[in-house]
Structure 1
Amino acid sequence: MGVLRTAVAVALLSALAACGNSLDERRATVCRRAVPAIAPDGSTVSLMRIGTGPGPDSVRVDYRTAGSPGAAAKARWIVCSFGPGSSLEAITTESGPVNGASVYLLRHYYLDTPEAASADPGGR
């Protein structure tokens, strides 16, 4: 009986740990949709990885941009930090933090639009 209880406890703890490390899909979508707005104009975006970011409420998207034909692709990243729910609070890129006014405008006037959905590099 003790072995069964131990096995159940281990299974329960493993399930809880997996939930704590899982990626929130809504947050991942919000961060992914910010990539085309952050990427250089005229570049093509290819996703490489989407995962948890360095902070407890963050998502990191690694992507590659390519410009004109024959131009070398460049690896880039974006980290989105979230408040309650899927409220985007801050963005940091390989070039540094995006200013608060830009994040505000992106959040309120772009991320939930049909244009953002159609430009979503992971929504294809």
Structure 2
Amino acid sequence: MGELEPDQGAEAAAEHQDSAVGAIAARTGLPQSQVSTAVARLREAGSIVTEADPRDRRRLLARRAPEVSARRVEVANATVDDALVRAPGTDDPQVLAEVLAALGRRLTPATVRRLRAEAAGEAASPILRM
């Protein structure tokens, strides 16, 4: 099975309030150790809060944090735009279009439109003027 994306764990906690680590592992198909690690990271980042299960103090229950943490905002607003432009070591629109084709599923729709326009020779995009 795969790994949780940065905000997927918080989304799962929101959909299933007060979920035990074992229940999350069962729903996702991920190993319990991986879920425990993800829960710890999400808690440290402020995306979720945890507390002991009042019925079984050995179990930890997770739920989405009531406040949006700075880290959650940072992750939600992050794009790969800057890294994509720097990675090929060129601002050649054709090279960037080839990179775009390979990584298209990971880019924001706005970035896809800007890079395609640049490759087609349309107005220079702000992302390529770095």
- Fold in common (TM above 0.5): no
- Larger helix share, 1 or 2: 2
Work out which structure has the larger RCO, using CA pairs closer than 8 Å and 6 or more positions apart in sequence: 1
Q: What TM-score range do you get, normalising by the shorter chain?
A: under 0.3
Greater fraction strand? 1
TM-score, normalising length: structure 1: 0.24
